[in-house]
Amino acid sequence: MNPRVAIPCAPTGTLSQNVLEDSSMARSRKRGAAPWRRRHRHRRHRDDSLEARGVRDPSLLEDLDESLLDPEERAYLEARRVAEEKVRLWGKAWRLAIVVVPLMIFIPLVGFIVLFFGGIDLAKRAYKVLYEPRLREKFVDDEVSKRISRTVHQERRSLEDEHSRSLEKLSASIAHEIRNPITAAKSLVQQMGEDPAGMDNVEYAKVALEELERVERSISHLLRFAREEEMRHVEVRMSEVLDSALETFRERAQREGIEIECQFDCEGRLLGDAEQLRRVVINLVGNAVDSLLDASVQNPRIQVAMGENLAGSEVWVRIADNGVGIDEELYEKIFNPFYTSKEHGTGLGLPITRKLVEAHGGEIEVESPADGGAEFLLTFRKARNAREPGAEGGRS
């Protein structure tokens, strides 16, 4: 016979009361959980939107150094601080109103005093939260604008002064280059006039013509330097430009015993004007030839090389000689108009050369290697989509 298990039973009234209490507690928990769920969904939606914009967890941002935050995160933190200040401001206003309104009804004098002192503090906080940031930003912008305007004005004045000094220096150089030959020619013509039948008149006339030709040459170079020459932008093979320019020196180099070595590692395709580039090479090689002859260098040699940089984006040309070289303090001065070390030079060859190189978007540099001589390096941007079919061997 199986033993019976006694199950205690609650009275009927007690059971129904417990059921009602459980159901009411469940409804209250459900009603209390609904706002929490809404707040949680709102917070989760806000965090998801911030995460979608790339902003990290907002709860962690305040603990980080602002220098480690990106601009959007810093803007979010600043907006959050301002919002919290506004919430505190409104909270204080409501609390003041709750205190002041009953006092104004029952004790007007006390209510007015509380409103006056509480309003002052509230107005100070409102000014600090609502208006002070805007005023600070406006004052900062105004001050920055003034300083920038002052800096721009100073730079403009500096450029104008530098331009005026350059014009004065250039004018003095022009006057010197033109006046001296004209003065010499005038003196010779006067001597010829004093003695028309003199034995030296033919020599005087020859020298006077040479001086006038020097004036004409200086003016011609000056006009070329000042004039903006029209340039035809077409694809040019720098190897062909170098060959054409060096061909003009072949006979003179053979006659003077100057060896010209060439090493072209590519065709050197670039956009530019072939004739202007040819003039650049002729001027630099001509200067090298004159320098070697003036210094009476033994075994004179000129090296002309061309290649590309490692990235294949630029074409470089190097023209070097084994002469006496150039002093380092003259690296920039030699590109100034009318500066020359030649007896009959105009001092405009290198300035024109640099102008033509820069007109092609290139650069020109000069240096004297430790083993002597002078070296000019030209750099140009390579033509886009230019293909090199093959390298050319060294030629001499």
pTM (2 decimals)? 0.49
Q: How far is CA 369 from CA 14, 373, 387, in A?
A: 111, 6, 33
pLDDT of 221: 64
- pLDDT band at 396, cuts 50/70/90? very low
Q: Is 92 helix (H, G, I), strand (E, B) or coil?
A: helix
pLDDT of 237: 92
> Which region among 79-83, 286-290, 389-393 has the lowest average model confidence (pLDDT)?
389-393
CA separation for the pair 300, 306 (Å, rounded): 20
Note the pLDDT tens digit of each residue in 173-190: 666 667 777 887 888 888
Residue that wins the pLDDT comparison between 151 and 29: 151
Cβ atoms within 10 Å of 219's Cβ, excluding its own: 14
> For the domain 234-387, what is the CATH superfamily, name and number?
Histidine kinase-like ATPase, C-terminal domain (3.30.565.10)
At a CB cut-off of 8 Å and minimum separation 6, what does 343 contact? none
pLDDT of 123: 85
- pLDDT band at 12, cuts 50/70/90? very low
Q: Which of 51-60, 87-96, 164-173 has the highest mean pLDDT?
A: 87-96
pLDDT of 143: 82
Tell me the two tokens of residue 354.
């640099």
Q: How many CA within 13 A on the CB side of residue 57?
A: 4
Percent of the chain with pLDDT over 70: 70
Q: How far is CA 245 from CA 29, 238, 250, 351, 352, in A?
A: 97, 10, 10, 19, 17
Q: Judge whether residue 171 has pLDDT over 70.
A: no
CA separation for the pair 67, 61 (Å, rounded): 11
Q: Judge whether residue 6 has pLDDT over 50.
A: no
Note the pLDDT tens digit of each residue in 129-159: 888 888 888 888 888 888 887 777 777 777 6
Angle (CA) 375 220 326, round 5°: 20
- pLDDT band at 162, cuts 50/70/90? low
Residue 381 contacts residue 362 (beta carbons within 8 Å): yes
Tell me the two tokens of residue 152.
């721009």
Nearest to 260 by CA among 394, 372, 89, 389: 394
Q: Are strands 314-321 and 301-308 parallel, antiparallel or unpaired?
A: antiparallel
In sequence order, what DSSP letters do the residues of 299-321 get, joined into one string?
A: S-EEEEEEEE-TTS-EEEEEEEE
CA separation for the pair 189, 48 (Å, rounded): 96
- pLDDT band at 305, cuts 50/70/90? very high
Residue spans of the domains in the chain: they are 18-143, 163-226, 234-387
DSSP tally for the chain: helices H, then strands E: 10, 8
pLDDT of 170: 63
Mean pLDDT over 211-239 rounds to 75
The DSSP element (H or E) to which 272 belongs, if any, is: strand 269-272
Buried b (16+ CB within 10 A) or exposed e, 191-205: ebeeeeeeeebeebe
Q: Is 28 helix (H, G, I), strand (E, B) or coil?
A: helix
- pLDDT band at 323, cuts 50/70/90? confident
Nearest to 325 by CA among 358, 297, 361: 297
Q: Judge whether residue 112 has pLDDT over 70.
A: yes
Residue that wins the pLDDT comparison between 240 and 128: 240
Residue 270 contacts residue 234 (beta carbons within 8 Å): no
Q: Judge whether residue 89 has pLDDT over 60.
A: yes
Phi-psi region of 368 (alpha: psi -120 to 50; beta: other; left: phi over 0): beta
Q: Which residue has the tokens 């003259």?
A: 330
CA separation for the pair 384, 382 (Å, rounded): 6
Q: Judge whether residue 161 has pLDDT over 50.
A: yes
Burial class from Cβ neighbours inside 10 Å (0-12, 13-18, 19+) for residue 42 reads exposed
**Mean pLDDT, the chain, as a whole number?**
75
Tell me the two tokens of residue 297.
């260098």
Cβ atoms within 10 Å of 370's Cβ, excluding its own: 6
The 8-class DSSP code of residue 231 comes to -
pLDDT of 318: 94
Buried b (16+ CB within 10 A) or exposed e, 315-345: bbbbbbbbbebbeeeeeeebbbbbbbeeeeb
Q: Judge whether residue 348 has pLDDT over 90.
A: no
- pLDDT band at 228, cuts 50/70/90? low
Residue that wins the pLDDT comparison between 353 and 1: 353
What's the CATH architecture for 163-226? Answer: Orthogonal Bundle (1.10)
Angle (CA) 237 241 244, round 5°: 140
Note the pLDDT tens digit of each residue in 262-294: 999 988 899 999 988 998 999 899 888 888 888
